[in-house]
Amino acid sequence: MSALTEVAKPAAAAPPAELTYREAINLALAEEMASDPSVVLLGEDVASSGGVFKTNEGLAERYPGRVINTPICENAFTGVALGMALVGMRPVVEIMFSDFLPTAGDQIVNQLPKYRFMSGGQCSVPVTIRSISGATGRFGTQHSATGESWFMGLPGLRVCVAASAGAAYDLLRTAIRTNDPVIFHEHRGLYARKGLVRRGGEPARIGRAAVVREGDDVTIVATLMMVERALGAAEILAREGISAEVIDLRWVRPLDVRTVAASVARTGRLAVVEEQVHAGGWGATLTSELTMAGARWRAAPRAVSLPADVCIPYSPPLEDLVLPSVQRIADAARDMVTA
């Protein structure tokens, strides 16, 4: 079976609805559990009062025995999910904070992405790891990482980043239906944000970015909460007569270099906006891929990211200071256009 095979037929399309990011995730989980009895949810406190971040509200009651609380041992319950997948189930694992992804590192690096290869294609591993990402919550340095680029170099693994309610709904459905393991990053700073969700229909395409604002002067590529901030920066720039194109990357693995390249071919300028250190991340990889493909730069690409040697602080003013802001993004883009 191919990695892109969908195992459940899409539900009939329903009228668009405005939902919060949290509600969109809950809806995607509920619909996939309703349409496919092999879908189960497991993780720490996932069945307790709707989960720590209330994304699982009502699921334990609607689907008895399929929302499973686990001990605090990420490597163990991710390994259990691997076993479930190998016997035909579609487990969804919740990792409460992305900072704890490395505690499941053996499963994520050495087990989940390699089974299809080692079995000569006889085994598929449809495991979705929901990783709750990002800062702005004043949780301190051990609970604030996005972790979005930590595993982007692993063959056999998909890495997804949801920046809006609509994207979260579409992408989570795709992740659950995919026959390869997927790390699905959701940003807890977005849980209360509202957006238009188009229910049912075809799932999102794997590895396809979305142009969320068109422009001609500079290309801004972002993920997770930084997409919202990039759009805010584009509004500032528009008032100054600068037209910024904003691309929501959506997938870190595989990267949609083609969509970004088409935009850069028009603008000649690129700003990557990351809630992570730039070195070793998707922004550096994307810039490298574009350059090697022959991109013609009108100005050197810019990275708006976290400081290279500073951990995310607990202090609210300091946390705000280290994160890319709307103004910093606007300043970087403006500098390229006016240089």
- Number of residues assigned to the chain: 339
- Helices (H) then strands (E): counts for the chain: 11, 14
Q: Which of 23, 31, 32, 143 is catalytic?
A: 143
31 part of the active site: no
Alpha helices (runs of H) in 210-255, residue ranges in sequence order:
225-239
Other beta carbons within 10 Å of 10: 15
Residue 144 token pair: 């604030």
Cα–Cα–Cα angle for 47, 50, 55, nearest 5°?
A: 115
> What's the CA gap between 164 and 231, in Å, rounded?
12
Cα–Cα–Cα angle for 112, 10, 195, nearest 5°?
A: 90
> What's the CA gap between 287 and 266, in Å, rounded?
16
Reading across the β-sheet that carries 251-253, which strands appear in turn?
Answer: 67-69, 39-43, 90-95, 128-133, 182-187, 158-162, 251-253
> What's the CA gap between 304 and 270, in Å, rounded?
11
Give me the residue label for tokens 């957006």.
195
> What's the CA gap between 220 and 260, in Å, rounded?
9
Nearest to 222 by CA among 319, 328, 315, 151: 328
Nearest to 38 by CA among 111, 145, 127, 154: 127
Cβ–Cβ under 8 Å, residues 305 and 323: no
143 part of the active site: yes
Cβ–Cβ under 8 Å, residues 278 and 272: yes
Other beta carbons within 10 Å of 192: 10
Q: Which of 74, 186, 228, 274 is catalytic?
A: 74
Residues taking part in catalysis: 74, 143
